[in-house]
C-alpha cells in the first residue's frame, strides 16, 4: 500500500543527504576522502507538510480510507466537517386527504409523530474514536399547497448516552406555521451548546397535529412536482479525534525517493532534528527499512510494494511524535541513523516503515483542519565514516 501521509515522516530521514549546497562532487577529478571521523552540517527547515496535502487521497487507504473520503469535507476556513440532511416527518397530501372526515371542510389531523436517525458518519463516530465539535443544525419545512399549514407538536433531538439517551426539546417549535409553496424553507436554527462533543444521533416530533385547508389536493400548487408536507433537518459538524482514536496504517512502502548518496561512499549518516506537530494526534513510526530498486509492474511503474529489503543497511529510527495544535504546537527532538553493515551506503530509492496514528491525551478539544501538519525545524546531520569524492 502506498500512502502519501507517511512522506511527512520519511522526509526528515532523507533530507540530510539531498541538499545540493553540500554536493561537492562537481569539478573534482580524483578521489579524495574527507572528514575521516565525522562532520556536522546544517539541514535547515522543511514543511509544513499539512493534512491538506493528503486529504484528497484518503480513498487510497485500505479499509476505512474510502469510507472517510465519502463523508468528510472541507469548509472555506479549512476545517474538516461532515453533514447530513433528511426528513423527520413526511406525508403525501393525497394520503392526508384520505384521513380527513370531510375533505370539503378544513380540519386538524392528529398524525402522531415520527423520528429519524442521522446517517453518514454520525452513527459510527464513537467506534472510530471521533466526536463532534461546533455542531450546527436547522429545521426546514416543505409545503406544496397554496395555503399555509399551522402545526403543533413537540420537537426534540437525541444525544446518545452510555446508559440512557438524552432527549433535548427544541424550544419554540411547539407551534409554528409551514408557509405556502415552500420547499426546504428554513424554520429555525438550533442552539447547540459549544461544549457538546457527542454527535446528535436523531431528531423527532411527537404529538404532531396539522391543520389542513378544505380540499387540500386541489390546493397543490404544482401537481407535477413535490406533493409532500415535510419537516426536515439539516446538520453539520466539525470533527475532532478523541483519546480513543487509533488508525494503524501498518507497513507502508514509500517510493520513489531517489536520493543518490551512493557516490559519497558514506558509512553512516546520523540525523538530529526537531519536529513541530500541529496535528491533534500522536504519530508512531517504527521498523524503517531500506528497499532495493524494484522491478516494474505490468503498467511500467516501479512496484515498491513488492520490492525487497536491503539487509545490508540498518536504520535506527523508532519514535513517537506527540500531538499538538495550531495554537500550541508540540516540538519533539529526534535522533536516528542510517548505517551500512558492510561497505558504504547505496542510493536510497525506497523505504518501508510502520505507521500508527493515535489520539493525543491531554489536549483541549480541537477541530481537525487541513492546515494542521508536521514541520521540520532547524536541524543538523552528523556524517561519519568519511565522505569520498568520486572521480566523476
Half-sphere exposure of 206 (CA within 13 A, CB side): 7
pLDDT at 48 over 70: no
- Taking CA atoms, 206 is separated from 110, 210, 285, in Å, by 10, 12, 52
- What integer best gives the mean pLDDT of the chain? 82
Q: pTM of the prediction? A: 0.75
Q: Kindly report the number of other CB atoms within 10 A of residue 299's CB atom.
A: 6
pLDDT tens-digit readout, 173-197: 999 999 999 999 999 999 899 899 9
Q: Assign 3-state DSSP to the chain and report helix, strand, coil percentages, each to 5.
A: 15, 50, 40
284-308: average pLDDT? 86
Q: Does residue 387 carry a pLDDT above 90?
A: no
- In this prediction, residue 369 carries a pLDDT of 94
Query: Cα(208)–Cα(112) distance, rounded to whole angstroms?
Result: 5
Q: What is the pLDDT of residues 145-158, one digit of tens each?
A: 999 999 999 999 99
The pLDDT of residue 384 is: 58
Report the half-sphere exposure of 11 (CA within 13 A, side-chain side). Answer: 20
CA distances from 227 to 110, 145, 230 (A): 19, 8, 10
Residue that the C-alpha cell 424550544 belongs to:
171
pLDDT at 306 (0 to 100) = 87
Residue 383: pLDDT band (50, 70, 90) is low
- Asked whether 175 and 154 are in contact (CB, 8 A), the reply is no
- What b/e string do you get for 59-82 counting C-beta neighbours within 10 Å, with b at 16 or more? eebeeebeebbebbebeeebbbbb
pLDDT at 378: 59
Range in 21-35, 108-122, 178-192, 331-345 with the lowest mean pLDDT: 21-35
Q: pLDDT (tens digit, 9 = 90+) per residue, 264-276?
A: 788 888 777 788 9
What is the mean pLDDT of the segment spanning 52-71?
71
Confirm if 344 and 290 have CB atoms less than 8 A apart.
no
Amino acid at each position: 500500500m502506498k500512502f502519501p501521509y507517511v512522506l511527512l515522516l520519511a522526509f526528515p530521514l532523507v533530507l540530510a543527504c539531498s541538499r545540493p549546497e553540500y554536493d561537492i562532487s562537481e569539478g573534482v577529478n580524483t578521489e579524495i576522502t574527507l572528514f575521516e571521523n565525522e562532520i556536522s552540517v546544517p539541514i535547515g527547515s522543511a514543511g509544513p507538510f499539512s493534512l491538506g496535502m493528503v486529504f484528497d487521497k484518503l480513498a487510497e487507504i485500505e479499509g476505512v480510507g474510502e469510507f472517510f473520503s465519502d463523508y468528510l469535507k472541507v469548509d472555506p476556513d479549512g476545517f474538516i466537517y461532515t453533514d447530513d440532511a433528511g426528513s423527520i416527518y413526511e406525508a403525501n397530501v393525497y394520503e392526508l386527504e384520505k384521513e380527513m372526515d370531510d375533505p370539503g371542510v378544513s380540519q386538524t389531523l392528529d398524525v402522531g409523530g415520527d423520528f429519524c436517525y442521522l446517517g453518514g458518519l454520525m452513527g459510527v463516530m464513537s467506534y472510530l474514536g471521533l466526536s463532534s465539535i461546533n455542531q450546527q443544525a436547522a429545521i426546514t419545512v416543505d409545503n406544496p399547497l397554496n395555503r399555509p399549514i399551522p402545526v403543533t407538536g413537540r420537537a426534540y433531538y437525541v444525544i446518545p448516552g452510555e446508559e440512557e439517551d438524552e432527549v433535548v426539546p427544541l424550544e419554540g417549535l411547539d407551534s409554528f406555521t409551514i408557509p405556502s409553496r415552500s420547499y426546504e424553507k428554513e424554520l429555525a436554527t438550533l442552539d447547540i451548546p459549544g461544549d457538546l462533543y457527542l454527535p446528535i444521533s436523531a431528531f423527532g416530533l411527537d404529538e404532531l397535529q396539522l391543520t389542513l385547508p378544505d380540499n387540500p389536493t386541489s390546493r397543490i400548487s404544482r401537481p407535477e412536482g413535490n406533493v409532500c408536507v415535510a419537516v426536515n433537518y439539516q446538520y453539520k459538524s466539525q470533527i475532532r479525534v478523541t483519546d480513543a482514536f487509533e488508525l494503524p496504517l501498518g507497513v507502508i512502502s514509500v517510493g520513489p525517493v531517489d536520493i543518490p548518496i551512493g557516490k559519497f561512499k558514506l558509512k553512516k549518516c546520523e540525523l538530529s532534528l526537531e519536529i513541530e506537530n500541529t496535528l491533534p494526534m500522536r504519530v508512531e513510526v517504527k521498523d524503517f527499512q531500506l528497499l532495493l530498486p524494484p522491478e516494474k509492474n505490468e503498467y511500467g511503474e516501479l512496484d515498491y510494494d513488492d520490492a525487497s529489503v536491503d539487509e545490508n543497511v540498518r536504520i535506527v529510527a523508532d519514535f513517537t511524535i506527540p500531538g499538538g495544535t495550531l495554537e500550541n504546537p508540540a516540538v519533539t527532538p529526534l535522533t536516528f541513523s542510517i548505517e551500512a553493515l558492510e561497505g558504504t551506503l547505496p542510493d536510497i530509492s525506497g523505504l518501508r516503515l510502520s505507521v500508527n496514528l493515535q489520539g493525543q491525551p491531554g489536549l483541549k478539544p480541537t477541530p481537525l483542519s487541513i492546515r494542521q501538519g508536521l514541520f521540520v525545524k532547524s536541524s543538523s546531520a552528523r556524517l561519519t565514516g568519511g565522505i569520498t569524492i568520486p572521480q566523476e
